[in-house]
Structure 1
């Protein structure tokens, strides 16, 4: 995953990881994320308008829409504006190259399908190296452009990109090349993880809501009680219990992150298993999330009501629910992702009713994250 994520906060360890976390984590604290809600609502408007236009273009009643790329564009716009001071249109090349990198990796299952683990054919390796250089060059151009913008406007407000740059400059242990890598690698991580996984989670949510329209009705009923003047606001987010349960259940059944990996730093005993120092342990999240011993005999069913009283009461062992990972390495973007999913789903459900298209083919596929292999296609109607 190094070409895709560099040595940013997802892949680094030890003091270097702690240093990056100190800079990145505060930008995703809930008080900061709440300040991004208006931006999220604004970013969603072009998607809503596009789908309304699709309905008109397809006869004015119902439209057959493939949602994946639209959700990717929306999520990319949100992360660009929130963290890097730019819109999706400016970062479009970066997202496109990262997506190409992801697809190049996924063409052959690097984790489990390559006999000579980690060694790729020269042609594919060259393609990956070229894409990696292009992504890094584009990101560095964006960083320098953002830096120049702030100089010209004398703005004291710093987004995540500028904070990363400031952190790299202030760290005396980093040389020039290392400082550049520090910034670029974390931008790569946030560009990719910050938009791809959230967009995929939203796609799974819409697929499940399309299959279970009664939960769409439940969300609308709650919105009628919670929204003041019929509008979503920061204050209303905490009261959107139904949409929160739907998101939690979707993340249980189809968690975008496929696994959590940890290295044993010392010899450890897990039940009857002796784990040697240095061994790497992999926990497969989808398997854990569907274990009947933990979730009950209905573990494979879509039942958001299991989260009525929160995660602690949803299953036998709350620690078995880990869509965002677990422990100190818990995903820093958890608050950001949950709020964005609440905003996007609330706006879509309040604007459209929808069902699953006959063209939809269910095929969960691992491409660095677990996504709908052939996309999610739904039939939408304007409410």
Structure 2
């Protein structure tokens, strides 16, 4: 009897192991090869699938090689930031292609008409979830939601970013910028010029702005959240650059434990701010005219008009606030640092921008009405966003076999819309696509792109970034105030080194020579 039980148990165990082995082989080999054959038959070109790793090893090798070579500000930076994709795009003359992120088929859509179609159908082409659930700790809230859940979040959040609400935040923008400028002027107190790495200052500026305008607190109070999120972003980047086996996110590794620890700490800090505000509102106090207050009021209206399912839970509000912190600092900080670097190199455009700012404002602090008259500044910011968009690409998942143009994409594959490749494409932008030329935006974005989906620094379609007006207003005001007080050159010690950690950032800082404008 005991022998038959043991035999039965062995058969069960072996059967389970065989089942898992077959499932693994299907995930790691048979399914990818089947998908590769399916897309090749349709004429789509791409790399041959390599067991488990796909193209990740080659991507890492090419990235390390590209980063080891210094480049100039005038050089095309795309081969440094995304060398693998750039080579494939160039070799195949700008046509759609596919690669492999581990065993996942990834199709790169580079035809503007098809890009527009993907962005327009956000219910069909949904956000890609990371194979490792820990990746999703960084991208939260509205940025991670899909379909009806996304629609609910967007409806509640929209009022916080209405232009009329943003106008009231200009004094906070101005105060934060004045504090940064005062620190720079202090460095120049006894000197006609000095070298400053402006990158940390601009990060602190955008952090200070989002702390005050989103939560009504100072940068010092919110700084712990920024530090933790920067650490989390680097850990997420490490995961994205490696193969993620199913279940690897649940292993008790040092990295996994640290990521969960960061998430708990950030959640606790933000929950404290939210609960304090809710208590103040219940006691009859003002909600404050900041993003958190407007969000809570909008959420309460939705709940009163329907029921709780129409509103956000406290956990969902926390996730949105995490996104406020991350996107609010990273996007504007990145835009401002590349703007200063490019204007330090292209001094003619720096002079034109300063002339416009002084003509509109003189020595007065910028206001909303005047900001709307800064045409040259707007052209410059648009061109910087084209050459140095904060994000590299948008990712979407195919949940069922889906027709896109002449291609049928298989369920389980991913679509990547590579923003850098689109922004540097000569077919859309002309032979000077790699050059800094703000004049191309002299008649606005639509005219510059001829209506094509070739320019999307903030995404596009219904899911276009809800905070783009916030970021552009902040950047325009900050740049105007900087131009009122300083002119600046690239320092001989500056090393041009764009890299991506959530957003495009200067790896070795942004060393400029600041000169104070004499009043």
Shorter-chain TM-score above 0.5: yes
SS at match of 2:489: strand
**In terms of mean alpha carbon deviation, does 159-168 or 371-380 score higher?**
159-168
Note the 1:233-248 alignment, pairs <5 A.
Answer: 233-248=367-382
Note the 1:115-134 alignment, pairs <5 A.
Answer: 115-116=243-244, 119=248, 122-134=253-265
Query: CA contact under 8 A between 2:215 and 2:291: conserved in structure 1?
Result: yes
SS at match of 1:173: helix
- Which residue in the other structure is 1:114 paired with? 242
- How far has the Cα of 1:147 moved from its partner? 2.8
- Which residue in the other structure is 1:70 paired with? 201
- How far has the Cα of 1:2 moved from its partner? 1.6
- Which residue in the other structure is 2:317 paired with? 183
1:147 corresponds, among 278, 284, 288, to 278
Is the counterpart of residue 216 in structure 1 residue 357 in structure 2? no
- How far has the Cα of 1:253 moved from its partner? 0.4
Shift of the 359–143 alpha-carbon distance from structure 1 to 2, 3 Å rule, reads: same
- Which residue in the other structure is 1:308 paired with? 442
Within 2, Cα distance between the matches of 1:219 and 1:332? 27
- How far has the Cα of 1:229 moved from its partner? 6.2
Query: CA contact under 8 A between 1:266 and 1:277: conserved in structure 2?
Result: yes
- Which residue in the other structure is 1:321 paired with? 455
SS at match of 1:379: strand
SS at match of 1:371: strand
Within 1, Cα distance between the matches of 2:481 and 2:370? 13
Shift of the 338–117 alpha-carbon distance from structure 1 to 2, 3 Å rule, reads: farther
- How far has the Cα of 1:290 moved from its partner? 0.3
Within 2, Cα distance between the matches of 1:45 and 1:158? 21
Note the 1:161-176 alignment, pairs <5 A.
Answer: 161-165=292-296, 167=299, 170=303, 172-173=308-309
- Which residue in the other structure is 2:427 paired with? 293
Query: CA contact under 8 A between 2:398 and 2:415: conserved in structure 1?
Result: yes
Within 2, Cα distance between the matches of 1:117 and 1:288? 31
- Which residue in the other structure is 2:234 paired with? 103
Note the 1:24-103 alignment, pairs <5 A.
Answer: 24-56=157-189, 59-103=190-234
- How far has the Cα of 1:152 moved from its partner? 5.6
- How far has the Cα of 1:335 moved from its partner? 0.5
1:136 corresponds, among 263, 267, 289, to 267
- How far has the Cα of 1:60 moved from its partner? 0.8
- How far has the Cα of 1:307 moved from its partner? 0.5
Deviations 1:338-376 (A, max 9, x none): 111100011111110001112211111111222112221
The structure 1 segments of at least 4 consecutive aligned residues displaced by more than 6 Å after TM superposition are none
- How far has the Cα of 1:44 moved from its partner? 0.5
Within 2, Cα distance between the matches of 1:157 and 1:370? 33
Is the counterpart of residue 358 in structure 1 residue 486 in structure 2? no
Query: CA contact under 8 A between 2:152 and 2:310: conserved in structure 1?
Result: no
- How far has the Cα of 1:179 moved from its partner? 2.0
Q: CA RMSD in A?
A: 2.3
Shift of the 378–228 alpha-carbon distance from structure 1 to 2, 3 Å rule, reads: closer
- How far has the Cα of 1:228 moved from its partner? 6.0
**Which structure 2 residue ranges, 5 or more long, are not aligned?**
1-134
**In terms of mean alpha carbon deviation, does 353-362 or 321-330 score higher?**
353-362
- How far has the Cα of 1:318 moved from its partner? 3.4
**Which structure 1 residue ranges, 5 or more long, are not aligned?**
none
Within 2, Cα distance between the matches of 1:323 and 1:51? 30
SS at match of 1:96: helix
Within 2, Cα distance between the matches of 1:163 and 1:314? 35
**In terms of mean alpha carbon deviation, does 154-163 or 219-228 score higher?**
154-163
- How far has the Cα of 1:272 moved from its partner? 3.6
- Which residue in the other structure is 2:332 paired with? 198
Normalising by structure 1, we get a TM-score of: 0.91
Query: CA contact under 8 A between 2:160 and 2:294: conserved in structure 1?
Result: no
SS at match of 1:9: helix
SS at match of 1:319: coil
Normalising by structure 2, we get a TM-score of: 0.68
Within 2, Cα distance between the matches of 1:37 and 1:160? 13
- How far has the Cα of 1:313 moved from its partner? 2.1
- Which residue in the other structure is 2:100 paired with? none
- Which residue in the other structure is 2:503 paired with? 369
- How far has the Cα of 1:145 moved from its partner? 2.2
Within 2, Cα distance between the matches of 1:379 and 1:190? 32
SS at match of 2:138: helix
- How far has the Cα of 1:174 moved from its partner? 8.6
2:414 corresponds, among 261, 280, 283, to 280
2:150 corresponds, among 5, 12, 17, to 17
Note the 1:324-335 alignment, pairs <5 A.
Answer: 324-335=458-469
